[in-house]
Every structure is written in structure tokens, then in C-alpha cells.
Amino acid sequence: MPKLILRCNYLKNAPPSHLENFMTYIGTRDGVEKVESTTANLPPTARQEDLIQDILRKIHDAGRIHEYYDYLQRPTRENASEFITQALENNLDIIAKKKNYMDYLANRPGVERTGTHGLFSNEGESIVLSRVADEVANHTGVVWTNVISLQREDAERLGYDSAAQWQALLQSRVELLCENYKIDSRNLKWYAAFHNESHHPHVHLVVYSTKPSEGYLTKKGIETMRSAYAHDIFRQEFMSIYEPIGGCIACLKCGEKGCCVFDDTVNRFREKAYEADGFVFGSPVHYAGATGNMTAFMDRLFYSELRGNGNKAFYMKPAAAVVSARRAGTTVTFDQLNKYFTIQEMPVVSSRYWNMIHGANAEQARQDAEGLYTMRVLGRNMAYMLRCKEVARKVGVELPEQETPVFTNFIR
């Protein structure tokens, strides 16, 4: 399932006759009550199943939230309740008045309070909830209502299970809102609240301009923000190789040490690889091949792990290579990177074309429609492979037993 989900809705001129108080709705609607621990793992009730189908019909993207993935993997009453609650909460723009919406975000059960309520904004800004609620309710322009959601294990591991961490992230990324919502920084207003849900902690982010006619958000803008937030949150899991890396000198010391004799980025990555479920390795084309840094990195990484630890870090973990170029050399580089996977017993994840994209910089690459399509398909296929591995692990499907390698050469 996706590591991070960013969902963007908006409120504008919503007729009061079509809106209800969210708290009443969420508290009385059949099928959304919290289940007791004694029945949590039972199959969902008929009312829950009916409501889930109703939600999927009426809310077009409800099937993409974390809770729905959980429900598909384990269709229990608890997971059904979590999905129903979150799907409705994500669509407050169609079931709550704007004033009620702000009050709900600030005071709902599970919100982490920073005082008398849970709202926060720019550093040093004092927030009076009643005033904010009135501002939003009476705003004549567009009010965007965003939800940024993480999986519980990721939130705890990376420190995003507290309001303070989310506040620091959002305050450091105000320019991201200005750029993608097309709002002048002098007019930008944003408020957020962190909800520490048991399954998927998330933050609600409200954005609007004090100038009612200002601001709009495109699909490209949504993807840019999602990518930026994901990169900030999961920065420990991204590794860019900019420092000089020497090549393998065939000293064979990795067989004794269990790691490369040169203690640099290669060894740091190898340690992280044990915790990873899958890998994407990317390189631009330099002289019809992977960069010198990338080649040295891959040579030493895979050889030292195979010789020193029997390939435990990479065995049967899905991998994909991604290549970028201004003009040519992509297929050669793509083949070069794939050879590392196929010698380490790693399932290779593919797309509808070789995993390449063209452009001299990021902006040009965004114009490569086929390249972007190829990357989207690759991402979906990688996610599917990882889900299959997780399901196999849960039901007890064992990995194939590794056979002792046999080595020969051509002269004996």
C-alpha cells in the first residue's frame, strides 16, 4: 500500500440544505461505532458491508485510503469500522458545515491538543478557535481540506506520531503551499490538526487565501506536494550518491568482515537494506552506462553482501531499475542495473516498457508522457509485489530454501 496518502478536497458555496453536523453524523450512522475488543476480529456485520459498498459507490477515491487496504487484507469488524470512519472523515466537505468542520478538527476524540484545542499554524501565531471557525465559515472563496495519512508503524518509526513533528514539517514547507495553490504568501492562511488514530495517524490541513479570487490546485500540484512531503518524511529511506565512491579492489576482505573493507555509503546502505522490503535503483546515463559512482556503489554493495553474508539483505526482495537520459544509452544502462538483481535472486519488477524517462532536467522529464506512464505502471506493480509478499508472510508461505552456491571457471 502507499507509504503516504495525500487527499485534497475543497469547500465552496456548499448549500446548507445539503450539509449536516459532522459530529452527529459520525456518531449515529449505522456501522461506524467502535467495536469491542471481543468482537473486533469477527467478520464485518451486514450493516457494515452495506455501508462500505455505499461509500465506495458515492466517494470515488475511498478505495485508495490506507484503511481500505487494511480492510481488504483482513475484513474484520474493527477494520471495517476504521475504514468507514476515515472515509467519512475524509469527506467532511460533503457532510459538514465549514464552521463545524474547523471545530471538529480541533476538538474531535484523538486530536493532540496544543492548548485548549488541537489547531496549529505558522510559528508564533496565536489561534482562537471560534475566530478561525468564523473566518472559514464566512470565507467566500475556495477552502481546501487536505488529509495526509501515514501507516502507524511508519509514523512511530519516523517520529510522526506527535503534533510537534507535523507542525515542524508543515511550518518548514509553507512555500510548498504557496507554489502549488498559486497563493501569494501574504494572503496564505493555513491551519492543521494532528489526529493520532490507532491504525493510520494523519493530519488535516486547511488552506485558503484571504483574497477570495486567488488560488487553484492542479493534479500536478497535488503530486508535487505528495512527493515533497513523502521525501521529507521518508528521507532516511532515500539515498542519493553524490560523494565520490571508489570501486571494488577485489581484496576479498568482505568475506572475513561481513561488509566492505571501505566503511562508507556502501556499508551504511547495506545495513538499511536488511530492513527494506524492496528496492528501486536509479541512474542517469553517463557515456552509455550508469554513472561511475553508481557502478562502483552497486559492484561493492552486492559483491560484499553476497560474499560476506550469503545475500541475506537482498534475497527474494523485489527490485527495479530506473534510468534517465537526455537522448540515448537508456537500454544499455537499464540492462546493466538489472544484472545486479538477477545474480542475487531478486524478483525484477517491470512496467509496460523499459523503465526509462527522457529529459535534461526534471522539468523536461515531466513532459515525457510515455515515460511518466511507464513510471506509474512500475509503481503500481512494485506495490502489488510488496502486498503479495506481505500476504504470503502472514499466511505462512516460506521463501525457497537457498542452495549452497557452486562456482566454476573456464579452465578447471
Q: What is the CATH number of the domain that holds 103?
A: 3.30.930
Residue 106 confidence (pLDDT): 56
Residue 304 confidence (pLDDT): 94
Kindly report the length of the chain. 412
The 10s digit of each residue's pLDDT in 54-87 is 888 877 778 888 888 888 888 988 888 888 877 8
Would you say residue 296 lies in a domain? yes
108: Cβ–Cβ under 8 A, 6 or more apart, which residues?
23, 195
360: Cβ–Cβ under 8 A, 6 or more apart, which residues?
326
- Asked if residue 214 and residue 250 are part of one domain, the reply reads no
- Asked if residue 104 and residue 89 are part of one domain, the reply reads yes
Would you say residue 402 lies in a domain? no
- Asked if residue 206 and residue 117 are part of one domain, the reply reads yes
Q: Please compute the mean of the pLDDT values over residues 392-403 and round it to a whole number.
A: 89
Measured between alpha carbons, how far is residue 248 from residues 5, 295, 302, 304, 360 in Å?
40, 10, 11, 9, 30
Question: How far is the C-alpha of 278 from the C-alpha of 213, rounded, in Å?
Answer: 45
Would you say residue 400 lies in a domain? no
Question: How far is the C-alpha of 152 from the C-alpha of 90, rounded, in Å?
Answer: 18
- Asked if residue 224 and residue 90 are part of one domain, the reply reads yes
- Asked if residue 205 and residue 280 are part of one domain, the reply reads no
Among 175, 27, 150, smallest CA distance to 95 is for: 27
**Does residue 35 have a pLDDT over 60?**
no
Query: Cell triple for residue 408?
Result: 566454476
- Asked if residue 247 and residue 174 are part of one domain, the reply reads no
- Asked if residue 161 and residue 80 are part of one domain, the reply reads yes
The 10s digit of each residue's pLDDT in 318-344 is 999 999 999 999 999 999 999 999 999
Would you say residue 133 lies in a domain? yes
96: Cβ–Cβ under 8 A, 6 or more apart, which residues?
19, 20, 21, 22, 25, 104
- Asked if residue 221 and residue 184 are part of one domain, the reply reads yes
Which of 173, 202, 235 finishes a domain? 235
Would you say residue 410 lies in a domain? no
Structural domain boundaries enclosing 133:
4-235
Residue 124 confidence (pLDDT): 66
Q: Do the beta carbons of residue 208 and residue 139 sit within 8 Å?
A: yes
- Asked if residue 336 and residue 384 are part of one domain, the reply reads yes
- Asked if residue 270 and residue 162 are part of one domain, the reply reads no
273: Cβ–Cβ under 8 A, 6 or more apart, which residues?
279, 305, 313, 314
Query: Cell triple for residue 64?
Result: 485508495
Q: What's the whole-number average pLDDT of the chain?
A: 82
Is this structure's pTM higher than 0.85?
A: no
CA atoms within 13 A on the CB side of 29: 21
Would you say residue 411 lies in a domain? no
Per the structure, how many domains does the chain have?
Answer: 2
- Asked if residue 181 and residue 243 are part of one domain, the reply reads no
Residue 11 confidence (pLDDT): 62
Would you say residue 153 lies in a domain? yes
- Give the domain CATH number at 367: 3.40.50.360
Which of 218, 235, 252 finishes a domain? 235
Would you say residue 297 lies in a domain? yes
Residue 303 confidence (pLDDT): 94
- Asked if residue 147 and residue 257 are part of one domain, the reply reads no
Which of 192, 212, 235 finishes a domain? 235
